[in-house]
Structure 1
């Protein structure tokens, strides 16, 4: 995950964003609507010539190695809650008039567990069709495919401007695959760059 974060930072630098305008770690804290504040993984704030500041970009970097069955739902709830909170704060004037770019990068570790979870349900009503017949297989969605649907649906519902979904090889640093061509790191970076350059 650190490699992807460094890549995003390098791309922003090449776009003309100064290191001082890229905030990471505990300092990447923004006001919220349903709570006082929220810590994000990366925040980009433009320091403007008139002394004002503009929120350009907000990023979340999330990864998971093992225990996908136990933790995927937690990631879903966390991501939806965070984006809903940020957009409500924006609507209420927390960041000024310019809508920031909101991105989400989700990296799973390649694991046999990802192909499991197809038969577990127990819901009081049938799951939605997308989970019963995953689009590329026609079979019930396994854990990897559920994670993909999670990313896809967040973009469709405009909770995030762009999401990237990657499966990383834990034994070969830098090797990864991207199951969905609409959820690639390349598309996320292009969308982010377009937004940032339009407001610099």
Structure 2
């Protein structure tokens, strides 16, 4: 074992000092031992991953259910975005009527390849894709927003929704979608939290903002955003709901953006294509 020399002693000689061997800490335990003890990989004892609230409920037709799993006596809380995607992907696939589309036409998992061609980028992965031949029957974005950082996540969701719609619609103009005009749907769920309900201060910029944004919360702002998505024709249908772990039953802040209108628009799209002979026999 390597030796190191200690400081000079009173007798004037240097004594060799053995390097002390580091004790085996919890970080060095094997993965099997960590799994056996129920700990997260790469974390010391007593440290667990941070989870935020679960959004949605069983009563809502979208099918976003609150996770009831428990871990060491504590309620297990999953990240809202991951939980919402899991349930709403499945629910959106189920709400599509059985109108003769083959199972391979409805894609709800990444293993089924959810990429669609774009104009400003080669392709983009959507959350649910329904295609038949050269026609994009429907493409859905399913997103969620939870705390505690509503500000940064809010801006990211705005940019994602705008970029996805503009990119695909511009690609459709270049005949990348030679069939019928693509149909786009947007489903969004926001955590009902005091920070998302409270009015947000507007910074003093170079020019004043529109009056509609004053004294609005993040919930109010996203409602305005979703209404303008529909008004500008960026999406053909939008559903916007809020929910929280304490009150899992979803609320629908904007009457025209509720689940009933969202499902009716999907059914209308299927009926429209059926009049045109799709799906083909």
TM > 0.5: yes
Match of 1:60 among 130, 133, 141: 141
Task: Give the drift of 1:117.
Answer: 4.3
**Which structure would you say has the larger RCO, counting Cα contacts within 8 Å and 6 or more residues apart?**
1
Could you say what secondary structure the match of 2:201 adopts? coil
Of 229, 235, 250, 1:176 maps to: 250
2:108 to 4, 11, 24: 24
- Give per-residue Cα distances to partners, 1:67-100, cap 9 Å, x unaligned: 2122111111111111000000011111114112
Give the structure 1 partner of residue 182 of structure 2. 100
Structure 1 residues not aligned, in runs of 5+: 47-51, 133-139
Q: How many residues align?
A: 187
Following superposition, the deviation at residue 15 of structure 1 comes to 4.1
SS in 1 for 2:255: coil
Equivalent residues in 2 for 1:7-86, closer than 5 Å: 7-26=91-110, 27-46=113-132, 52-66=133-147, 67-86=149-168
Pairwise CA RMSD of aligned residues? 1.6
Cα deviation, 1:47-68, whole Å, max 9, x if unaligned, reads: xxxxx43210010000011121
| In 2, Cα distance between equivalents of 1:72 and 1:91 | 29
Please give the TM-score of this superposition, normalised by the length of structure 1. 0.87
For the residues of structure 1 that align with 2:191 and 2:99, how far apart are their CA atoms? 30
Which one has a bigger Cα radius of gyration? 2
- Secondary structure of residue in 2 paired with 1:107: strand
Corresponding residue number in structure 2 for 1:136: none
Point out the more displaced range, 2-11 or 183-192.
Answer: 2-11
Q: Do the aligned partners of 1:15 and 1:197 also contact (CA within 8 Å) in 2?
A: no
Please tell me whether the aligned partners of residues 141 and 186 of structure 2 are also in contact (alpha carbons under 8 angstroms): yes
Structure 2 unaligned regions, length at least 5:
1-83
Alignment partner of 1:124 is 2:199 = no
